[in-house]
Structure 1
Amino acid sequence: MNYVVVHLEPWVRQRPEDGGLFDLAALRVENGKVIDIFTCTAYADAASNLLSQAAGGDPLHHRAGACRTVAGVNCGVRDKVLPAAEALRAWLTFAAGGTWVGHRIDRMNAWLAHACAMWGVDAPDSAGMEAVDALDTWRLARILLPGVRDLTLSELARRLGISLTHERDALGKTRAVWAVLQALAEEAAQLPYSTLQQLTHLASHVSAAMAAWFAACAERRLLAHGTELPDGVEQVHQLAFSVPGATGRRADAEPGAAGDPDADWLSLARRLLDADSPLLSALPGFEVRPGQLQMVEAVAAALAEGHHLLVEAGTGVGKSLAYLIPAALYARARRERVVVATHTIALQDQIRDRDFPVLRKVLGEDVQLAVMKGRTHYVCLRKVRHETLAADLGTPREEVETLMALLRWLVVTPEGNREELLFHGALAEVWPRVQSETESCIGRRCPFFKPCYYFRARTRAAEADLVVTNHSLILSDLKADHRVLPKYDKLILDEAHHLEEEASRQLGESVHLRPCQALLQRLVRDGGHGALRELVQRFEAEARWPKLTAKLAAAAEGLQALRREVEAAFADLGELLPPAAGERRITAHVHQEAAFVRFEQRLADIAAWLEQLRPAFEHLGEAAREAQDEDLAARMLDARGFYEALSDHLAVLARATSRDPDWVVWLERVGPGPRDVRLHRTPVDVAGILADALFQQKDAVVMTSATLSAAGSFAFFKRQTGLAAMEEAGRVRELTVPSPFDYRRQAMLCIPNDVPELARMGLQDAAARLAESIHALAVASQGRLLVLFTSHAQLRATADAVRPRLAADGIALFAQGIDGPRSRLLAAFRHHPRAVLFGAQSFWEGIDLPGDELTTLVMVRLPFSPPNHPVAQARHERLAAAGQQPFWHLSLPEAVVRFRQGFGRLVRTIHDRGVVVIYDKRILTQRYGQAFLRALPGVRPYVAPEAEVIRSIRAFLTRPIPPGA
């Protein structure tokens, strides 16, 4: 193919009408070789003087350096500086006659369309620049590198091993685009021929240029390797996917088999943490810690004796190894599975990728670990194949390209797990249609049953000694009467301070309009598609099941009526939520409002429609069992599964009318539209549920975290999670392992006593005042500053106020909700030598910034949960009815735990030092403030005027850490 690689680079980012200077460059490529080059600088009239000044009066000399790399190649306009209109005409003339290639070419074309219209230059296409069918390396990279987050040209070049020269000018970037395209072709050439054929077909729905490129890649693959599959790839029905990884417990490792005597594995657990521990050589930087050994012995006793254990292990104890060592040894000796559950994916990854491989080096290869996630986290190969075949010219471009990325990902994914992908944009729409689901699974009849990623994960979990999962799946297993995870009796919950909160979420239920609409679309999609209409067309064409065909045709019409009722029901719920409100509790008073009365009436109509539709789908399920065609049977079960899932969603709506005092029903706004509300049903108290379904059912549950206690006691945690009910039977043990860090030497807690009370100020005034303080702190600490907020509105206002001040001192600001997602902000903060990071909620924990990555931490407000949240209201009412004070029994202990989590972001190793500054004067003026200060053992607050605080911080951060006593 013949290409013209194009790039336009403004010297200063501006709109065309702003005038200024911009570089234009293009490479003409034939048969894979650059045969001609175009480069010039264009200027608008308003910029002609600027150009002369910038070039020192010699614009041709100023641009010559950027063109020396093209010597020896015939060039178009070169070393020229031309008026904008003339430059554009010359550039477009040069670029005519070949397929354009660019990076983010849609943005460039939008700029060019505007520029051509303004300067009277004819665009190369009568429909305008936006209609030019070009090859975009950004779009190709999204397809061929589906797990890569940063797809900027410079990052792609770095990742693909491309050396950039003069990358800041248009010609350098044009060369980089061409090099990236060639590297992406090499990536594509590694794919199976069948995958490249499918990519070519899908691309034809959105871009002839892209389809031609993939066709060329397919031909290249065919010539080099024929239809041979790459190593590690299998294929069923022309769908290629990664070969299942090896699984397998040792042949003698059946649960319940006799193992080594307890003394052997207990003594080995101790030896692994003694002065001659083999971990010293297996894990660089490992240190034997007495507290870690203490925790190992306590966890081992809980597993061996069968009791529950609470372990608060301070930061730096090394608690993950302290429970993995006895868990692995116990599982191997007793042939009993141990499940480890974390709250965050990051900790799961740490256990799988860092901790367990080290432990396996020491214990031997016969210890098996598996990671298990919820079923919808895994892709369904059958559904990917169906969606790929169903895509056509009417499918949105973003969805087509997402399907293409999925096809490429299937060839390399080790687990088929959605966390490997960037879950945004069209993937959020496509994933629910390709995820594994119980309702639409046809089991062993599926041609992809053997290689199914979900069943692979279940097999690995069933054969493993240790299964690592998350709190959510543990609770889903309880909710499903223990049918989700392989059988287990020993459980370790890390990050256990989240247990009550996660149980409230998972043991409750919620519904909003979008998933209901998605299920209805999957059954009867706009434009005549959807599972139901596809089946009707197929049955009619084959003249099969005439009665069923008639029922399904009628059901398709009924579903349209059901859709209208469901949308109207959510509109009624939207009326109940005032425009300025984020949440509202559904109380007996709300039940009397006109919108809720209409809602109840609609629920009756919805129930009638569901009942009327049910026989057709039951008949469909029966017919599926008789069908000989696997694809047809699968699609029939898809339709039935979609209906059952829709019924389950709508059942949650129906339960919203319940007056059960043990449940809170509430609404949450999730978007700007009148129907953008989510309905929740949450248990008021999960303690009884957890006591009955978890602690009574399991032999041993070990719960650990750096923050389980409040006011030096585990009473609050035990009361909230139901463990208190186990104490009478003597089944609960407790252990507190203090942090090995010397906070007196390593940390400084500062409370300025002359700052105003921010809560009494307006949002903008408080932001302006806080901006002054943060700027002064950032200068004193040279960046490396994390500011924790409890309000997103306060975060945004303060970011707007402080950003210009920080920029003037060369300090970057990365703010949550403004400058990108959490992971990107953390990466940027780590790599920038002088930066400030703003975060709320999720930034109070789970962030690891050791050493000089973080030296100063600010808490704007004490982290109390909003008392007006519907669930908090209901729980406060229940406590008050029992004669207890909600603030002291619930609000304060929760806030203290969160406060300790926030403080724990600062000192992460024995070599760290840092400062915490609290701008909430309530910690000094209110009686409860002492509860927060007592929660930080070994740290004495420094209370002084702000100016003195900043001077002390500067001195503390610059002097050496004094040696310990």
Structure 2
Amino acid sequence: MKFAVLDLETTGHSGADDDIIQIGIVMLDEALDITGTYTSFVRPRVPVPPFITQLTGISDDDVHDAPELDDVLLDIIPILDDAVLVAHNVGFDAGFLNGALDRCGYVPFTGRRLDTLDLLRILYPSLTTYQLGAVTEAFAIAHEQHHRADSDAMATAIIFRMCVEKLRELPLLTLHRLAQFFEMQDDLGWIVRQAVAHKERETSPDTDNYAYFRQFALKVDDWTEETPPRCEDADAEELLKPIDFDTYLGQIKDSFERLVQGYEAREPQNQMFREVYDALESDKHLLIEAGTGTGKSLGYLIPALYYGIQQGKKIVVSTHTINLQEQLRERDVPLLHQVLPVPFKAAVFKGRGNYLCLRKFEGKVNMQDFVSPGEDRITAAQMIVWLGETERGDQEELNLGNRGGDFWDTVASDTDSCLNRQCPWFKRCFYHRAKQEANLADVVITNHSMLFTDIRADHRLLPSYEHLIVDEAHHLEEVAGKHLGMQVSYFGLLHPLQRLCKDARTGMVHQLKLRLLAEGHERSQAWAEVIEAAVPVFGEVREHWDQMFELLFGLTAAVKDGAETGQPVVRMKSDKPPEGWSYVQTAEANVFAGLNEIVKVLEKLSSEVKDRIDDAALQGLLTDMNGSVKDLARIRDELHGFVRLDDGGTVYWLEANPTYKARSVHLFAVPADVSGQLKQYFFDVKRSVVMTSATLSVQKSFQFACEQLGLEEANRTGRLTAVQLESPFNYRDQALVVIPRNFPGLKGASGDPEFVGALVRSLAETAQETKGRMLVLFTSYRMLRQVYDPLKEALAAAGIQVIGQ
């Protein structure tokens, strides 16, 4: 057995119209040792396009005297004979190769093909990207000439060897799981079965690095509900009691000076330490605006940990984005473990849908319930490998690819389908593990969305807390509006609807029917008939749903103000709905009736089956089905409320994307003013809420923030402190603002040629001065498109690539 690792450089992506300009091959033997290489330029029939020269460095001069394609093929056909073809995105390279072979009268390559893209996705599921250059950088693989066939082929060969070696190191149980996903004739299945045969020579399973449960190899074992000691030597609370806050800060400063060469304390950060501590200690709320370079994260974490540990109080920190949560986890918390004079526990707790439900995943892979068989098998395979690596089961760790998000939605943890302690996976549940860690932590790092999800769940999710720190606080009002309001999208209903019944043979109701018939219960046949009678209703709901969203898109298509942003918006008024709204209401009434029937039938059926059949697998399926039924009921009710437009305190609107038409339509309804709810849920009931951001004040006044956030009463009664810190970032010396005064006036909203021409010339001149390192922001989608092509052309000669988004 031998492997031929192939890379091609071409004049474009069309196998019919474009030509190969360079071929690189690396030959490997069965032991994956390199036995030879081959590389050659190829003379194309067409000139090398400038963008290909820019990408690869290959010009017409390089290929002018190169061999013709037929001559090169004569060289490589013997190399490929009886070889397994390997490439990074093998479909592209093999397709181009076979097109070339066919054009020159040779037999196409029909041997095995392996794609390092697929292997990387499965075996390295947490890589942030699988682009060849990024992978070589991540693994420190020498790759000096990106987009050159010889260098790319060598890099791909090293990656392939790395993948096969990791595949062979996986537990045998994991390999057997992977083998189940791919058919016997599948080339990916072939390489997996090769690894199985290799692994079966070992005599014992690896119990040092893996825990085994229900035929899965896992990284983690059971979590415990016991409260472990904070540290072995002493309790941190006792360690901190004799230390005043100034001494504590001094010890941290000394640690920073030892740890960070050239460390300098920042006065705005020192001020933030004291303001945050004073607010927590005196039971006050704090608005603190901290500009760029202050070090906000440490500015609130250091005093919060001192107060929380000394007083035995839990501190909750909320960020707007999961990215900032991860930054706090990966950067700031480890740093604080090095510099704080006492041990502490920090936990990141996200929304439930971010965690994998092991029970649902087990059911899905055992049933091989795949909607998109090819893509779903890859996603399932990478998650099988990931289970042997993850300690958190957090979606953020996975690179799921284009369609993986749909797969994740079917196996994510959620309240409605959770069996809690009845679940066989409960003691290994990632969500309950994270919740337990949050219960034990001194500081819990969550996000704004989770704050409001916890409110809607009657505070059953987050551990009890009296002290809250809100980072990125300028987003809190927006997030409150979304969570206290509603949003309905086309796929919001379609996904749970299809999970229940996609067609005549696919979906949970069909699985339920088959299981009921297999049970042989005296009521099984009657239940099966109930399911069969309900199936056509799913199709009717889908038909009315499509009709309604076509009508809604028609309303957005008539709006002109979306042309500037590319996102038409229709603002709805209860006293004056748009023309044609009655047709939307009729379609909604049909959707409502159909969903009502589905919900009632399945709720009754589920209740009857649960009462009569005690089978764990069947109970799990019913629980999952009930979760999707509850989704349908929620969407039914939210949509019904939207079309009535009868809440005077709510703002209603539609949004759509012209490219994706009806399927892109979103319906929004949010409270016009959330200040009362923020006051009710936070400022009236929490002892201290600290809100920080770089942008809280307007013209050095916090009045607007107080009004929007519900802090006016706290301000009047003296429970609020508002502070604006100076930024240590020296804008005058480190940033330059240029306002061109020689531009022509902009005539009309659509952009006139004179203005666009002047803008293109100005941007081109600036880009050449900065050597391309430049970001250009537009408020107009139309003008972005008008500028893109001429700017790209203007900078082509300078070798500066222009990317438009």
Q: Same fold (TM over 0.5)?
A: yes
1:141 is the counterpart of 2:130: no
1:669 is the counterpart of 2:656: yes
Distance, in Å, in 2 between the alignment partners of 1:323 and 1:293 is 10
Query: Is the 1:157–1:164 Cα contact (8 Å) retained in structure 2?
Result: yes
Query: Is the 2:469–2:690 Cα contact (8 Å) retained in structure 1?
Result: yes
- Going from structure 1 to structure 2, the CA distance change for 1:287 and 1:536 (only over 3 Å counts) comes to same
Query: Is the 1:7–1:171 Cα contact (8 Å) retained in structure 2?
Result: yes
Tell me which amino acid in the other structure corresponds to 2:363. H
Picking from 236, 249, 255, the partner of 1:272 is 249
Distance, in Å, in 2 between the alignment partners of 1:36 and 1:390 is 44
Distance, in Å, in 1 between the alignment partners of 2:685 and 2:458 is 11
Distance, in Å, in 1 between the alignment partners of 2:541 and 2:417 is 21
Distance, in Å, in 1 between the alignment partners of 2:85 and 2:12 is 24
Distance, in Å, in 2 between the alignment partners of 1:786 and 1:285 is 32
Q: Report Cα offsets for 1:335-392 as digits up to 9, x if no partner.
A: 1110011113333233222222222223356311000110001111122222222327
Match of 2:218, SS state, is strand
1:793 is the counterpart of 2:782: yes
Q: Residue 602 of structure 1: CA displacement?
A: 3.3
Q: Report Cα offsets for 1:783-822 as digits up to 9, x if no partner.
A: 543333323433343333323333433445454x2xxxxx
Give the alignment's TM-score, normalised by structure 2: 0.88
Structure 1: gaps (5+ residues)? 60-80, 126-131, 818-965
Query: Is the 2:501–2:507 Cα contact (8 Å) retained in structure 1?
Result: yes
Query: Is the 1:270–1:293 Cα contact (8 Å) retained in structure 2?
Result: no
How do residues 278-357 of structure 1 correspond to structure 2 at under 5 angstroms? 278-357=255-334
- Going from structure 1 to structure 2, the CA distance change for 1:414 and 1:540 (only over 3 Å counts) comes to same
Identity of aligned residues (%): 30
How do residues 583-662 of structure 1 correspond to structure 2 at under 5 angstroms? 583-588=569-574, 591=577, 593-594=579-580, 596-613=581-598, 614-621=600-607, 623-624=609-610, 627-656=613-642, 657-662=644-649
Tell me which amino acid in the other structure corresponds to 2:739. I
Query: Is the 2:277–2:304 Cα contact (8 Å) retained in structure 1?
Result: yes
Match of 1:752, SS state, is coil
Picking from 713, 734, 739, the partner of 2:722 is 734
Distance, in Å, in 2 between the alignment partners of 1:758 and 1:52 is 41
Q: Residue 550 of structure 1: CA displacement?
A: 3.5
Query: Is the 2:12–2:18 Cα contact (8 Å) retained in structure 1?
Result: no
Distance, in Å, in 2 between the alignment partners of 1:99 and 1:112 is 14
Picking from 450, 464, 474, the partner of 1:497 is 474
- Going from structure 1 to structure 2, the CA distance change for 1:262 and 1:710 (only over 3 Å counts) comes to farther
Question: Residue 169 of structure 2 corresponds to which residue in structure 1?
Answer: 190
How do residues 417-456 of structure 1 correspond to structure 2 at under 5 angstroms? 417-456=394-433
Distance, in Å, in 1 between the alignment partners of 2:101 and 2:348 is 56
Question: Residue 767 of structure 1 corresponds to which residue in structure 2?
Answer: 756
Query: Is the 2:355–2:393 Cα contact (8 Å) retained in structure 1?
Result: yes
1:777 is the counterpart of 2:766: yes
Question: Residue 823 of structure 1 corresponds to which residue in structure 2?
Answer: none
Q: Residue 638 of structure 1: CA displacement?
A: 0.6
Picking from 516, 529, 545, the partner of 1:550 is 529
Q: Report Cα offsets for 1:724-762 as digits up to 9, x if no partner.
A: 133333321111221234434444433232223347474
- Going from structure 1 to structure 2, the CA distance change for 1:352 and 1:270 (only over 3 Å counts) comes to farther
Match of 1:467, SS state, is strand
- Going from structure 1 to structure 2, the CA distance change for 1:28 and 1:393 (only over 3 Å counts) comes to farther
Question: Residue 379 of structure 1 corresponds to which residue in structure 2?
Answer: 356
Picking from 385, 394, 414, the partner of 2:391 is 414
Distance, in Å, in 2 between the alignment partners of 1:242 and 1:783 is 45
Query: Is the 1:269–1:325 Cα contact (8 Å) retained in structure 2?
Result: no
Match of 1:516, SS state, is helix
- Going from structure 1 to structure 2, the CA distance change for 1:579 and 1:390 (only over 3 Å counts) comes to farther
Distance, in Å, in 1 between the alignment partners of 2:459 and 2:548 is 34
- Going from structure 1 to structure 2, the CA distance change for 1:102 and 1:692 (only over 3 Å counts) comes to same
Match of 2:127, SS state, is coil
Query: Is the 1:89–1:121 Cα contact (8 Å) retained in structure 2?
Result: no
Q: Residue 116 of structure 1: CA displacement?
A: 3.9
Structure 2: gaps (5+ residues)? 49-57, 563-567
Picking from 532, 541, 544, the partner of 1:565 is 544
| Higher RCO (C-alpha 8 Å, min separation 6) | 2
Is the deviation greater in 271-280 or in 648-657?
A: 271-280
Q: Residue 627 of structure 1: CA displacement?
A: 4.5
Question: Residue 3 of structure 1 corresponds to which residue in structure 2?
Answer: 3
Picking from 150, 153, 158, the partner of 2:132 is 153
Distance, in Å, in 2 between the alignment partners of 1:746 and 1:137 is 45
Distance, in Å, in 1 between the alignment partners of 2:800 and 2:751 is 24
Q: Report Cα offsets for 1:47-93 as digits up to 9, x if no partner.
A: 99xx9995899x6xxxxxxxxxxxxxxxxxxxxx7542354355345
How do residues 839-850 of structure 1 correspond to structure 2 at under 5 angstroms? none
Query: Is the 2:317–2:470 Cα contact (8 Å) retained in structure 1?
Result: yes
Q: Report Cα offsets for 1:619-658 as digits up to 9, x if no partner.
A: 4146437654322211111111111111112221111113
Give the alignment's TM-score, normalised by structure 1: 0.74
Query: Is the 1:625–1:633 Cα contact (8 Å) retained in structure 2?
Result: no
How do residues 224-303 of structure 1 correspond to structure 2 at under 5 angstroms? 224=202, 226-229=204-207, 231=209, 233-243=210-220, 251=229, 264=242, 267-269=244-246, 271-273=248-250, 277-303=254-280
Is the deviation greater in 1-10 or in 480-489?
A: 1-10
Tell me which amino acid in the other structure corresponds to 1:381. L
- Going from structure 1 to structure 2, the CA distance change for 1:400 and 1:236 (only over 3 Å counts) comes to same
Query: Is the 1:137–1:180 Cα contact (8 Å) retained in structure 2?
Result: yes
Match of 2:201, SS state, is helix
Distance, in Å, in 2 between the alignment partners of 1:586 and 1:362 is 54
CA RMSD across the alignment: 3.4
Query: Is the 2:602–2:629 Cα contact (8 Å) retained in structure 1?
Result: no
Q: Residue 162 of structure 1: CA displacement?
A: 4.0
Q: Residue 213 of structure 1: CA displacement?
A: 0.3
Picking from 90, 94, 97, the partner of 1:112 is 97
Match of 1:751, SS state, is coil
- Going from structure 1 to structure 2, the CA distance change for 1:720 and 1:407 (only over 3 Å counts) comes to same
Query: Is the 1:204–1:211 Cα contact (8 Å) retained in structure 2?
Result: yes
1:217 is the counterpart of 2:195: yes
- Going from structure 1 to structure 2, the CA distance change for 1:480 and 1:95 (only over 3 Å counts) comes to same
Q: Residue 404 of structure 1: CA displacement?
A: 1.1
Question: Residue 525 of structure 1 corresponds to which residue in structure 2?
Answer: 502
Aligned length: 779
Match of 2:6, SS state, is strand
Distance, in Å, in 1 between the alignment partners of 2:358 and 2:248 is 46
Distance, in Å, in 2 between the alignment partners of 1:539 and 1:689 is 47
Distance, in Å, in 1 between the alignment partners of 2:19 and 2:602 is 66
- Going from structure 1 to structure 2, the CA distance change for 1:801 and 1:724 (only over 3 Å counts) comes to farther
Q: Residue 591 of structure 1: CA displacement?
A: 3.8
Query: Is the 1:621–1:636 Cα contact (8 Å) retained in structure 2?
Result: no
Q: Report Cα offsets for 1:132-170 as digits up to 9, x if no partner.
A: 651111221121112223323344344445445888764
Distance, in Å, in 1 between the alignment partners of 2:387 and 2:60 is 55
Query: Is the 1:522–1:530 Cα contact (8 Å) retained in structure 2?
Result: yes
Q: Residue 577 of structure 1: CA displacement?
A: 2.2
Distance, in Å, in 2 between the alignment partners of 1:275 and 1:487 is 29
Q: Residue 284 of structure 1: CA displacement?
A: 4.4
Q: Residue 668 of structure 1: CA displacement?
A: 1.0
- Going from structure 1 to structure 2, the CA distance change for 1:320 and 1:117 (only over 3 Å counts) comes to same
Moved >6 Å (runs of 4+): 11-14, 45-48, 165-168, 245-248, 260-263
Query: Is the 2:44–2:63 Cα contact (8 Å) retained in structure 1?
Result: no
Picking from 671, 690, 695, the partner of 1:702 is 690
Distance, in Å, in 2 between the alignment partners of 1:432 and 1:601 is 31
Query: Is the 2:8–2:21 Cα contact (8 Å) retained in structure 1?
Result: no
